[in-house]
Chain A
Amino acid sequence: MPTIRSNLNIPLTHLSRIEDDQMEAIEMDKRSATTFRPLCVKCGVFGAQDGSGYAEFGNTRVLAQIIGPDGDGKWEEDHAKITVTLKGLENEKQIAEYRAELMSSASSVIFINKYPGKVIEIEVTVLSDDGGVLSAALSAVTLALAHSGIEHMGLTASVHVGMRANEDYITDPSTSESADTLGGVTFAFVPNLSQTTCVSLYGRIPIEATKSLLEFAKQRAIAIVPVLHKAIVNSIKEKQ
């Protein structure tokens, strides 16, 4: 009998849904501006190994894994070196952009001074992209960090918000839903310190609208905190 080490399962019916535009359209009608797509977050995906997280927003699925802190012969600074690798995206420009955002967000919460001369590798794998990859990746990374036992300042809540021409907001839009938006923002912040770690604006958003957009994004990010918190607490319970 094979050994089952992972307790995560993604139903095959869910994976096939990405092609099904019909179903998505129905979903969109039901959703109000403030509700998220159906989401699933998990802290600790690979049973035996520390430091993994999984986030799923609708059809966007991202897996994050943290390796380290490990010794490295070459790195001799008095703080840790953080590296981020992003897999599963094809657009080179997009990879570079997301990687930089993930890097700055992760290194702002990790206590790098506690791991001198060590290397922390963050590996993010995008399993499927249906809008809001960056916010899903940030959520996956924060779950992986909590699972890894690396000391950091707190969990990072992140959200992707789109803005329509009539100044309507849409929370966590999928690719098809964001077709009629002017632009959007990926917003991440650490709730316990109320420090913002990532603001990634794109599209043609009027400057006077940014303030209210960010305020809306922050409210939405707060809404996701209990979900992440529960996932982390559950993972500790499972461990015990």
Chain B
Amino acid sequence: MIITGTLVAPGDKVLDSIGNYRMGNGLYEANRRIFASVAGYVKVYGHKDKSDNLVQVIEVRRSEDQLENELLPYDGAVVTAKVMAVGLRYRHFFILYLRDHSRFAKCDIISIGDRVYKKRFSALLPKKKLRPLEPELSEPFKNFVRPNDYILAKVCDDAGIKDKFVLSIAEDELGVVLCRGKFGETMKKVDWNTVVSTRTGKTEPRKMARVPQKCMLPSDLKDSTS
């Protein structure tokens, strides 16, 4: 019987059989035995599943910190991304959505929390994940995000798309955090759905993020001090 906190190398047998445990990350099953797939320490913790049953999850972690533990953006993580293009027709959906020209916005994930990735990961922001509780959205993409905007988004799971991460901004705290106008000037927030250009005074629609108080944007800080 292996105890919590035991250091394991990849390929070490953690359990003879899974038993009552639920398999977490860093483990795999082969020949009905459970082996570690990463180097780290064993951790067992209680977790409540969907039907409110308490299950014991066993996993191998590299670090106590979730950010350190995961190499890639994980499900439910809040990431900072840059919108690269809007109106992209995803390759596999090409025939299905031929008439609709903007099903996805193409994004690049830059950082997760305060950890910046060495290389960007490409991600997609589907139209139905722009606003909560509105699956069929007729409004165009430009009312929410535009190319070159920086957004806060949540990574979510999509069964159809595997090679890219799928993002969602369907929460009040998520959305645009930084955007620039036509001439590269900064755009100031008017309300949660509008920004105004500091140069031309033109207003544009955007879905702004209600960033929690403790991590305010620099422009917000200036407003509150003046």
Contacts and interface: CB of A to CB of B under 8 A. Distances in A.
Interface of A: 43, 69-71, 73, 75-78, 111, 115-118, 145-155, 190-193, 228-229, 232-233, 235-237, 239
B163 A78 contact: yes
Given A117-B162, A155-B10, A236 B28 contact: no
Nearest to A50: B71
A236 B119 contact: no
Interface in B1-20: 7-13
A149 B62 contact: yes
B41 A153 contact: no
A235 B31 CA distance: 28
Q: Report, nearest first, the 3 A-B pairs whose CB atoms are least far apart.
A: A154-B11, A117-B163, A71-B121
Contacts of B72: 69, 115, 118
Contacts of A73: 122
Contact of A71 (B28, B119, B162): B119
B186 interface: no
A236 B41 contact: yes
A154 B13 CA distance: 10
Nearest to A150: B71
Interface stretch (B32-40, B168-176, B201-209): B32-40
Interface residues of B, number: 32
A233 B9 contact: yes
B163 A111 contact: no
Contact of B10 (A69, A76, A78, A152): A152
Interface string B139-174: 000000000000000000000001110000000000
A191 B11 contact: yes
B37 A236 contact: no
Contacts of B12: 154, 192, 229
B31 to A, nearest CB: 7
Contacts of A236: 7, 39-41, 62
Nearest to B40: A236
Contacts of B40: 236
A146 B163 contact: no
Contact of A76 (B13, B38, B108, B163): B163
Contacts of B215: none
15 contacts: A69-B72, A70-B119, A70-B121, A76-B91, A76-B164, A116-B162, A147-B39, A148-B71, A149-B39, A149-B71, A152-B37, A190-B11, A191-B11, A233-B39, A235-B39
A153 B31 contact: no
Nearest to A146: B39
Most buried by A among B8, B31, B162: B162
B50 interface: no
Contacts of B62: 149, 236, 239
A153 B122 contact: no
Contacts of B163: 75-78, 116-117
A232 B11 CA distance: 11
A232 B9 contact: yes
Given A70-B118, A233-B7, A153 B37 contact: yes
B26 interface: yes
A43 B163 CA distance: 30
A70 B108 CA distance: 12
Most buried by A among B9, B12, B62, B108: B9
Interface in B97-133: 108-109, 118-122
Contacts of A152: 10, 37-38
Contacts of B39: 43, 146-147, 149, 232-233, 235-236
